Amino acid sequence: MRVIKLEGAAGSTRIDFYRDLLLALGAPADHARNMDALIDSIGGNDINQARLSYVIEVSGISQMNTEARQVVEEFRTMVHALQSKGAAVRANLLTAHSTAF
């Protein structure tokens, strides 16, 4: 399974997280910055350049502000919902660079 790594500490807002994630997924420039759009693009597996299966690993959670941590938690919940529908995607959230969150 391919690992897509994001450094969470680098982004401090919801917008930063979406920007970094969409860039890492190879999403089109006009991809909406919300969970519904991510459900469609990841679950549909036909919009982004990155194709399933992959793990999205977000490190530096402990350095993120409350807003950014909240969107990452929403993202993890969304990924779990996609997994329950059979999508080959996983989200790993790390407090630092090697500690599971």
Residue 100 domain flag = no
Residue 99 domain flag = no
A 10 A CB-CB count for 29 gives: 6
What's the confidence (pLDDT) of residue 97?
53
What residues make up the domain containing 31?
Answer: 2-93
Q: Are 63 and 7 in contact (CB under 8 A)?
A: no
Residue 24 domain flag = yes
Residue 53 domain flag = yes
What's the confidence (pLDDT) of residue 1?
85
Give the residue-averaged pLDDT of 48-63: 92
Residue 62 pLDDT exceeds 90:
no
Residue (of 87, 19, 93) closest to 51 by Cα position: 87
Residue 101 domain flag = no
Give 40's DSSP letter: H
* Helices 14-25 & 66-84 angle (0-180, nearest 10): 40
Residue 73 domain flag = yes
Q: How many domains does the chain have?
A: 1
Residue 52 pLDDT exceeds 60:
yes
Give the residue-averaged pLDDT of 78-93: 94
The CATH number for 16's domain is 3.30.370.10
What's the confidence (pLDDT) of residue 68?
87
Task: Find where tokens 């519904």 sit.
Answer: 36
Q: Considering the entire predicted model, what is its pTM? A: 0.87
Averaged pLDDT score across all residues of the chain: 89
Q: Are 56 and 22 in contact (CB under 8 A)?
A: no
